[in-house]
């Protein structure tokens, strides 16, 4: 989910280019080789290497979710909002930040600081939440889950319809910005629907997220203006990726004892 | 579109009626056209903000108050307590937006003109200068995580001006019972997204061109001890 890239920083030379995932296809040039042709101002002693977070691309083309989520909406939401969070996070980590080097999940839990969030929390958590969100959707999504995931939902909610109702109601009863989640509660060993405000994430309380839905206004305003009801229903009917949920549940089973494993791993 | 009729006692236009003894609130009219605040705020945003968002707060506020009335009549204490968050949110939304429409005025009608008189003097005294106040409000507004409001308030007890932020639809009084909201700026995404996308600082920079300092000045003079 997280992509770390190497970046060479040389003190006397021009600004290093920040590699993005799209740059992977281009041949990697090592600038030092060009320097040998001229007076080298490159001192081996002052070479520093930083690793930064890059913006992960959604696992589908930006127009693949049309007509339910437009290409323009994704270009804004992913290309601008999500990218801004990544850039802001990198800027914070640059300044000898003590949490530099942690993984995303570690940083989310650590910077949440039991409800007294550190300055990096908002950026870290929003980057994580959005990564999770793109992967919680797929083209031709929606419909119903099958197999072990469906069985677990029926066990914990009574029926898929009851779960859907609860999820939609949670999404529509927000008092501000936030996210709606289907989580696997580690203590209670069952699935549940939770709402979190602003950037908060179920990882902060030790639960395992399975699916999420962005209920910040920027997520739906472009396509649906203030019509949240339509947005949430379209997400459930056409966008949510039960494939992703199955994979995440299979992984979650290794951490939470749900009895005899029923969710297929393959 | 409709011109608000002038009342002898200037109110916020909170506008309420009474049905079967229960007070209901209604959407106040805007004192200017939807497109009158362009280019600072687009007509499309004003229309959606007023007709959809504010109307929803009014509708849900009335619904919550009706449910509260029922719960109180039945003596259902848990239900009364449970309704408090809906009342605070929707009621706060109604109050805040009612103030907001008064805080705005087209540029050609005086929008953006810095306050003179006692409010102008108080701003210089408490903040140093008018520009410093704007800078402070812009910084606080931009830094607010998620949804909320940034306010210029008068603390009646301490007799000074303050800049405060509130989350979601919390009215300014939640930050202090003696605070009077002189000026509020909505920094929920719906207030600027269609025009400014995620660049909240640009919205904050431009909104000053349509701020109604005359309203803030009059309110300040009235409430100043």
pLDDT, position B121:
95
Q: What is the pLDDT of residues A20-72, one digit of tens each?
A: 444 444 455 454 444 444 444 555 566 777 788 999 999 999 999 999 999 99
The residue of chain B nearest to residue A222, with distances taken between CA atoms, is B194
Distance from CA of B168 to the nearest CA of A (A): 5
How high is the pLDDT of residue A98? Answer: 87
In the structure encoding, which two tokens stand for residue A17, read together?
A: 């280019």
Say if residue A67 is preceded by a cis peptide, omega within 30 of 0.
yes
At B6, the pLDDT band (50, 70, 90 cuts) reads very low
Q: Do A177 and B197 lie within an 8 Å CB cutoff?
A: no
Cβ-defined contact of A76 to B56 (cutoff 8 Å): no
**In angstroms, what separates the C-alpha of B147 from chain A's closest C-alpha?**
6
pLDDT score of B211: 97
Q: With CB atoms and an 8 Å threshold, state whether B52 touches A81.
A: no
Cβ <8 Å between B189 and A216:
yes
* A218 Cβ under 8 Å from any chain B Cβ: yes
Q: Which of A59, A80, A22 is nearest to A72 (CA)?
A: A80
Predicted ipTM? 0.86
pLDDT of the residue at A47: 73
Model confidence at B19, in pLDDT bands (50, 70, 90)? low
Per-residue pLDDT at A238 exceeds 80 = yes
Query: pLDDT tens digits, residue range B120-174?
Result: 999 999 999 999 999 999 999 999 999 999 999 999 999 999 999 999 999 999 9
Q: Find the helix packing angle between A121-135 and A104-112, rounded to 10°.
A: 130
- What's chain B's average pLDDT? 91
Q: Is A41 exposed, middle or buried (0-12, 13-18, 19+ CB in 10 A)?
A: exposed
DSSP label of A64? T
DSSP chain B: -PPPPPPSS------EEEETTEEEE-PPPPSS-GGGGTTTS-HHHHHHIIIIIIHHHHHHHHHHHHHHHHHHHHT-HHHHHHTHHHHHHHHHHHHHHHHHHHHB--GGGTTTPPP-HHHHHHHHHHHSSHHHHHHHHHHHHHH--SSEEEEEEEETTTTEEEEEEEETT--GGGG-TTEEEEEEEE-SGGGTHHHHTT-HHHHHHHHGGGB-HHHHHHHHHHH--
Percent pLDDT > 90 in chain A is 69
Mean pLDDT, chain A, whole residue set: 84
């Amino acid at each position: 989910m997280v992509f770390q890239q190497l970046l060479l920083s040389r003190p006397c030379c021009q600004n290093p280019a920040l590699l993005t995932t799209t740059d992977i296809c281009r041949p990697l040039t090592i600038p030092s080789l060009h320097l040998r042709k001229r007076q080298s101002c490159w001192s081996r002693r002052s070479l520093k290497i930083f690793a930064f977070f890059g913006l992960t691309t959604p696992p589908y083309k930006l127009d693949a979710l049309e007509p339910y989520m437009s290409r323009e909406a994704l270009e804004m939401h992913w290309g601008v909002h999500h990218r801004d969070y990544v850039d802001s996070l990198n800027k914070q980590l640059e300044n000898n930040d003590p949490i530099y080097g942690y993984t995303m999940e570690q940083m989310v839990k650590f910077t949440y600081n039991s409800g007294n969030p550190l300055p990096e929390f908002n950026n870290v958590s929003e980057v994580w939440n959005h990564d999770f969100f793109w992967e919680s959707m797929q083209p031709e999504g929606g419909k119903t889950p099958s197999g072990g995931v469906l069985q677990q939902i029926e066990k914990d909610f009574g029926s898929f319809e009851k779960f859907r109702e609860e999820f939609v109601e949670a999404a529509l009863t927000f008092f501000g910005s936030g996210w709606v989640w289907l989580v696997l509660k580690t203590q209670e060993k069952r699935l549940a629907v939770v709402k979190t405000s602003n950037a908060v994430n179920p990882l902060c309380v030790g639960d395992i997220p399975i699916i999420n839905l962005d209920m910040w206004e920027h997520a739906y305003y472009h396509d649906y203006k203030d019509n949240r009801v339509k947005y949430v229903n379209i997400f459930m009917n056409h966008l949510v990726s039960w494939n992703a949920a199955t994979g995440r549940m299979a992984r979650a089973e290794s951490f939470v004892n749900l009895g005899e494993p029923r969710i297929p791993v393959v | 579109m409709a011109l608000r009729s002038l009342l002898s006692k200037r109110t916020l236009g909170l506008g309420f009626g009474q049905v079967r003894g229960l007070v209901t609130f209604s959407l106040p009219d805007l004192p200017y056209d939807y497109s009158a605040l362009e280019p600072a705020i687009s007509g499309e945003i004003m229309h959606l903000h007023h007709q959809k968002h504010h109307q929803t707060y009014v509708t849900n506020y009335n619904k919550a108050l009706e449910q509260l009335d029922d719960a109180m009549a039945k003596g259902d204490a848990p239900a009364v307590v449970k309704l408090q968050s809906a009342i605070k949110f929707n009621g706060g939304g109604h109050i805040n937006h009612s103030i907001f429409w008064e805080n705005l005025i087209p540029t050609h009608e005086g929008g953006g003109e810095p306050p003179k008189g006692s409010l102008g003097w108080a701003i210089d005294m408490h903040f140093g200068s008018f520009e410093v106040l704007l800078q402070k409000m812009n910084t606080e507004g931009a830094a607010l995580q998620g949804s909320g409001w940034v306010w210029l308030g008068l603390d009646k007890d301490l007799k000074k001006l303050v800049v405060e932020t509130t989350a979601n639809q919390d009215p300014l009084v939640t930050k202090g019972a003696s605070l009077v909201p002189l000026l509020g700026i909505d920094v929920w995404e719906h207030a600027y997204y269609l025009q400014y996308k995620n660049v909240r600082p640009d919205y904050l920079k431009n909104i000053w061109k349509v701020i109604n300092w005359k309203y803030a000045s009059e309110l300040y003079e009235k409430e100043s001890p």
